[in-house]
Structure 1
Amino acid sequence: MLWASGVKLLSGGRKVVGLAVASLVALCLILASFFTTELGYTYVVQDTLFGSTRVFTEPGVHFKVPMFSNVYVYDQAMTLNFGNQDSGEKVRATRELPEVQVQFADTYTSRIPATFRFRLSSDPQKIIAMHREFRGFDNLIDSLLIKNAKNVTVVTGTQYTGEEFFQGGLNKFKVQLEDQLQNGLYETERRRVEVEQTDIAAVSSVNGDGDRLENRRQLVWKNIILKDKSGQARRLANPLESYGIQVRQVTIGRPVPEQRLDELLSQKKALVAKRITAIQAQETARAEAKTAQLEKEIERARAIQDAQRTKELAIIAKQREVAMEEQQARVEQVRKEKEKAVAVLEKQKELEVARSERDIQKANADAATYAAKAIREKGLAEADVTRARLQARQQAKDIYLAEIQRDIARVMYPALKDTTIDMPDYYVAGGAGSGAPLSSLDVFTTLGALKQLQKDEAP
């Protein structure tokens, strides 16, 4: 019984251990099935089970086949630092390398500190082509970027002489270096060209100064840039272009020349400074002599100017007197012309007034004549009207008398409206001794007069 119980316990423990191991393996497989990507890195995931390759450039969580997927990480931007910088600042670089040794066309050498910054392409096809070629980030830097940067720097240096480089050619060197690194090397041809160089003069029977410099023309071999028909530089294939790698920045530090070149440049600088000092002294002496001469010329010119000014003042005074006399004569002439013009204007005014008065009198006479004619015509017209009326009345005498009677009646009848007719106390027969019958007007007039007499007689 005890043995059976132990066997059961042992078998149960094995099951628990097996279950724990299986859970742990499952957890490991799940964790191995996913990976995370960060910003600033490019991830190439190579699946050996299915033979696929994927590229990720953005941050996130991605799936992969456990135990059959390899993840390769590339920095999207990298910096190669060749040598220390002038200010002694620390550059956070992907690689810290010694300065680039450059040999110029005139066999002088120099160490050039430089910093190159590159950036990978965002095109997945170019990233896959780059990974297929280099199979890792370190191999990419060591096999391509470092070698290409050093090669372009050295080749660019062969296009300059030592003196040309250190006497103002550094900026052009940097521009050409960055251009060739980004777009491909220039096609060059090695030619012998004549350059003017400053070198230490050889000690001889005619020259005992071992530090004297002399300018001389010398034939040197230089790489001359070839150009196409349009005048643009011809270029070789750029190894970075196939993988889409861009050159983002190129900086050049202070170059360090070799000892012979440094001594030559120092001596040339000292001699140039002496020459400049001598030239300045000569220019100063020449300027002082010229200044003294100019001062004398100024004094002479000042005396001439004073004499000339006195002469000009006398001439100006005479000219002023003549001008004043001419002005007075002109003023007198203008005054006379003005008086003459005023007299002419007054005469013209009187003539105009006389003409105006004549025209007024003529207009009045014409008006009187017209008025007399109008009055005469009016009188004649009125006489004609009166004559016509008399003729009309004579021709219609009865009608005219009837109209008169009508007018009398219009006056008398309203006046006799309230009049009472009594039997007359008096009787008047006939006209005043003529025996003719009386008219109604005579009768009523007589009656009215009698009635008024009665009123006057009454007490």
Structure 2
Amino acid sequence: MEESTISRARKAVSPKSIFITLGAIGALAVLKSSILMTDAGYTYVHQNNITGALDVFTEPGIHVRMPFLSKITRYDQVITVSFGNNQGEAFYQRLPSLQVRFADTYTGQVPATFRFKLSHSPEQIIQMHREFRSNDNLIETMLIKNARNVTVITATQYTGEEFFQGGLNQFKAQLADQLSNGIYTTERRQVEVEQVDLVPVGFDQDDSNKLQATKQLVWKTIPVTDKSGQPIRQDNPLSQYGVTVTQVTIGDPSPEDQLDKLLTDKKKLVAERIRTIQEQETSKAQAKTEQLRKEIQRTREVQDAQRAKELAVISQQKEVEIARQIAERELVEERKKKEIAALSKAKELEMAQANLEIQKANAAAASFEAKAIRETGIAEAEVLAAKYKALGTYEKIYTAEMNRDVAKVLYQNLPNFKVEMPQNYIGGNGGMTSNLDVITGFSALGLMEKSKELSQQSKQ
């Protein structure tokens, strides 16, 4: 039973199917080895091992390569080298801080970060690949060593005190310049270093709180300049490969213990000197303040006396002015009274003349009115006499017209007349002689009307 099963399995897996499967796998392997897919941010160098040709790819895409007989080397287009940063991802981003020695033999730790950008020129990339052969070798043997070397050389151009007392920004600018364009050609000379310090403390000084420039002789590395004043530079190892420096960042540097103690002691001495100067200035200010206070008090007293004198003069002038104004006001009032009296008399005269004219006008008007009334009465009497004379002449016609008008009015109002006879009558030979008779009669009438209503309701 088992032998028959094995024989059937051998028949199912034939050599032909095995060859087909192996051919498909080989074709996929050849196809995968023949295609190169490039990503953004990287530069790829393709080396054909048969012909020895080198191809450079700097843009993302799909490219054809020699399968199995070619080599691909990838370079970062932008490389960051960090000294003193323990948070980096690669070894060249987790390097210790740079230790530098200054011109006055003091040392210090300087954390720094450098950012480099590779060239896009195929010739420069191929030259760089021929010399360094890998991305890590390029970073370790050229970028890191060059950055450390330029930083150390730049530090020799500064003293420790100069560096830690405000020279960091200038140090950063010179470091970036030498790293990008080449190191300065230098020579060691003894030069005067100018320092800013407070003047010595004294009791009779008005400028003891001011700063003064002091000079000190030190040995420094000085850049050599040409006739135009530009620094003479050495060859830049980055320029032949097209590598450029895009950013230089300096962290918080730390001096050695001896330099740190020197700076701390100097800071304390300056602080003590400033405190002493402040105390002197405070004493001077207090003395000046007291003197000014006395001067102000004396000036205030003089001003108060002058003000009192001026107030007395003003008071007298005010009284004189008030008396003058009172006299002028009384004179004006007297003049006003006279003018008012004159105006009053003139007004009475005008009123009397006006009344005379009014009375004359009223008399003339009354005379004219009497004449008009007389003429009107004469005219009305003549009209009435003519009217009655005419009526007497046509008496019958006038009477007929009056009767006609009366008949016409009666005829028009005849439908509105209604004559009703009384239903009850109370009376006697002698009439009603007392109130009791009247009341009795009205009661009888009421009873008769009530009985009449009841009879009508019973009929209904």
Fold shared per TM-score above 0.5: yes
Aligned ranges 1:419-430 → 2 under 5 Å: none
Q: 1:149 matched to which residue of 2?
A: 147
Report how far residue 296 of structure 1 moved.
2.3
Q: Tell me how far 1:50 sits from its aligned partner.
A: 2.2
Q: Deviations over 1:407-454 (max 9, x none)?
A: xxxxxxxxxxxxxxxxxxxxxxxxxxxxxxxxxxxxxxxxxxxxxxxx
How does 1:316-331 map onto structure 2 within 5 Å? none
After TM superposition, give the deviation of residue 92 of structure 1 in Å: 4.8
Aligned to 1:283: 281
Matched with 1:323 is none
RMSD between aligned alpha carbons? 3.1
Answer yes or no: is 1:253 the counterpart of 2:254.
no
1 CA distance for matches of 2:312 and 2:90? 88
Structure 1 residues 129 and 313, CA gap change in structure 2 (3 angstroms): farther
Q: What is the 5 A alignment of 1:1-400?
A: 13-84=14-85, 90-92=87-89, 95=92, 96-195=94-193, 219-303=217-301
**8 Å Cα contact 1:195/1:217 also seen in 2:** yes
Counterpart residue type for residue 141 of structure 1: I
Could you tell me how far apart the structure 2 residues matched to 1:126 and 1:20 are?
45
- In structure 2, runs of 5+ residues without a counterpart are 1-6, 197-212, 316-460
Measure how far apart 1:196 and its partner are: 6.3
| Other-structure match for 1:341 | none
The DSSP-based 3-state class of the residue aligned with 2:108 is strand
C-alpha separation in 2, matches of 1:241 and 1:316:
93
Structure 2 CA distance for aligned equivalents of residues 216 and 307 of structure 1:
56
Alpha carbons of 1:280 and 1:92: their partners in 2 closer, same or farther (altered >3 Å)?
Answer: farther
> How much has 1:62 moved relative to structure 2?
0.7
One-letter amino acid of the counterpart of residue 44, structure 1: V
What is the Cα deviation at residue 245 of structure 1?
A: 1.1
Instruction: Give TM-score scaled by structure 2 length.
Output: 0.58
Task: Give SS of 2:228's match.
Answer: coil
Structure 1's unaligned 5+ residue stretches are: 1-5, 199-214, 318-459
* Cα pair 2:85 2:95 within 8 Å, conserved: no
Gap change, CA 1:51 and 1:315, over 3 Å in 2: farther
Deviation per residue, 1:162-202 (Å, 9 max, x gap): 1111111111111111111111112222101234689xxxx
* 1:360-411 CA distance string (max 9 Å, x none): xxxxxxxxxxxxxxxxxxxxxxxxxxxxxxxxxxxxxxxxxxxxxxxxxxxx
Distance 1:312 1:189, change over 3 A: farther
Evaluate the alpha carbon distance shift between residue 289 and residue 62 of structure 1 in structure 2; reply closer, same or farther with a 3 A threshold.
same
Q: Deviations over 1:132-161 (max 9, x none)?
A: 221110110011000000001000100000
Taking structure 1 as the reference length, the TM-score comes to: 0.58
Maintained 8 Å contact 1:79/1:93: no
Matched-pair contact (CA < 8 Å) for 1:190–1:222: yes
Deviation per residue, 1:56-95 (Å, 9 max, x gap): 111111100112211100011111111138xxxx345561
Deviation at 1:280?
1.0
Query: In the TM superposition, what is the alpha-carbon distance from 1:97 to its structure 2 partner?
Result: 0.5
2:160 & 2:152 partners in 1: Cα distance? 13
* Offset at residue 14 of structure 1 (A): 3.5
Q: Is contact 1:44–1:56 with CA below 8 Å preserved after alignment?
A: yes
C-alpha distance in 2 between matches for 1:118 and 1:232: 25
Determine if contact 1:78/1:94 at 8 Å carries over to the other structure: no
Q: Is the 8 A contact 1:191 1:224 kept in 2?
A: yes
User: Are the counterparts in 2 of residues 79 and 94 from structure 1 also a CA contact under 8 Å?
Assistant: no
- Given the superposition, is the C-alpha separation of residues 128 and 312 from structure 1 closer, same or farther in structure 2, using an over 3 Å criterion? farther
Change (3 A) 1:92 1:275: farther
Distance 1:314 1:233 in 2: 84
CA spacing shift, 1:309–1:237, aligned 2, 3 Å? farther
Measured against aligned partners, the alpha-carbon deviations of 1:221-266 in whole angstroms (never above 9, x if no partner) come to 2011222333322222211111111212111111111111111111
Go from structure 1 to structure 2 and tell me whether the alpha carbon gap of 1:283 and 1:49 turns closer, same or farther (over 3 Å shift): same
Given the superposition, is the C-alpha separation of residues 94 and 248 from structure 1 closer, same or farther in structure 2, using an over 3 Å criterion? farther
Q: Secondary structure at the match of 1:247?
A: strand
Q: Distance in 1 between matches of 2:286 and 2:262?
A: 35
- Give the distance between the partners of 1:47 and 1:306, measured in 2 at CA: 108
Query: In 2 relative to 1, CA 247–92 (structure 1 residues): closer, same or farther, beyond 3 Å?
Result: farther
Count of residues paired in the alignment: 292
Which residue type is aligned with residue 65 of structure 1?
A: M
CA distance in 2, matches of 1:33, 1:263: 65
Greater CA drift, 283-292 or 104-113: 283-292
Q: Matches of 2:123 and 2:304 in 1, distance apart?
A: 92
Question: Post-superposition shift, 1:21?
Answer: 2.5
Mapped contact 1:102–1:112 kept (Cα < 8 A): yes
Cα deviation for residue 128 of structure 1 reads 1.4
Counterpart residue identity of residue 184, structure 2: Y
